[in-house]
Structure 1
Amino acid sequence: MTDWLDIYRGDAPLVIGLPHTGTGIPDGMEAHFVSPWLARKDADWWVDRLYGFAVEMGATIVRTRISRSVIDVNRDPAGRSLYPGQATTALCPTTTFDGEPLYRDEVPDAGEIARRRKRWFDPYHAALSAELDRLRAAHGKVVLYDAHSIVSHVPRLFDGELPQFNIGTDGGVTCDPALEAAVVGAVEATGRCHVLNGRFRGGWTTRHYGRPAEGFHAIQMELAMRGYLTEPVRLAPDNWPTPFDPATPLIDDLKTIIAACIAFASV
């Protein structure tokens, strides 16, 4: 653990990645953003708390505390779009999901992007890779569960209302079909709406680490935030984020899903 990177080591064959729950903005950087609130607006709010139970199930958790507006550790470091032809954000985003400018004046240039990548992106992925290798060696196979959430309506990114559970395996490329089926089955049992490989097919992390033939099985779960918090009609500094409810029924659903991932990799 460092001042910005949290690693909780477990012995189960499961690593949960939390790339977007951080809200940290390094000293000297806040002044460059339009506002600190805007720079934190698109965080995956409270997802680290939603999956807090997973430590007791033996899962390993790797989490960065750095805001995704500083650097997004779930983007291709080469700058290639994950969703060609669709709106998305960059390695060092310059706008929010709603298209609002993040910076007051100059946006990060190539040199600054490289500095941020070396400082935060590379160590995060070094830690993630090390934990996956450790558990793959111990179990023969390991699941990387990349955990995310987003507000239910973002017109710039997708039409209409996002399903509650958005499962991404890049069209079945990043994991064994048995894991995909197990997660889909656990989600279907909740009775909540879901989609497999819809708008969110899996980010760079899922696509980079998912090598099922080698025993590395990766899956992304994007949750619609309405399942565990109240979403204001319009997000503003005085109403966002809304408080976390530790009694949300969604936690029980997630326990079932995580148990299915562990069971798959334990066989």
Structure 2
Amino acid sequence: FNLLANAIKFTEAGEVSVSASVASGSDGEQLVFTVADTGIGIAPGELERIFEPFTQVDDSRTRKYEGTGLGLAISRRLADAMGGELTVDSQLGVGSRFTVKLPLHRVSAVSGAATPAVSLAAASVLLVESNPLARGVLRAALSDQVGALEIADSSAQARAVLASRGCDLLLIEGKVLAQTDHDAGDILSAFAGAAGAAKIVVMWGGDATEGLQLQEAGADLVVQKPISASDLVDRLKTLFPSHDVGGQGADTDEASHPPPRRNVHPPAIHAEVCAL
């Protein structure tokens, strides 16, 4: 920024240009930034002096421009600190060209980086449901819609799963949160701490105000019951982008990545889900 500001300040007519490129040399690749102008230029004897702190060219043509004389000194030190260099070529009355060269180190994917978001069709889902009938209905509704489905029948079993292998989506039946004397929000907060980056969805049949409190406690989504299987799946999809696990954008090759097959349940199954 300092180089560009100087170029504009000292160029009353003509042009200022900025360019960036990658250059290969004996020391590897370098990132090269160049700021060139058609301004007043710098005399040969002043080319190195301008990089000294609190120093400006002592010239009648430059006295009208204000400044502390620190900008170029700081810019050069920053370039040096990054293993690069800041140089200048200039011709008095013609213009100046300042060049910054920085070493360019290409790296592979950073280890330990945040896990990219997945689509629902590729997500690992942990369902926490204590009712055997409801577990069967939800298993049928979700198994073909997600990447992997694991089911726990208690909060203790769910915490054990989260501690050992985690998941992308934690789907909790609200009654599980009310199995103890503890506040449902407190139990959900504990789940949120154990779930890490996993999305948390609560299927809630209680008061809507309590549902809002669950969101404050850590739920990404509170689904108010009753709800049909298809509506539940649609709500879950809103939590995930429609790209693949690698995060490379939406799939365009449908032959390689066919859409998940939607489970079609008899009306009786839908009725059971609505009643859960």
TM-score, scaled relative to structure 2:
0.24
Q: Which has the higher contact order (CA 8 A, sep 6+)?
A: 1
More strand by share: 2
Max Rg structure: 2
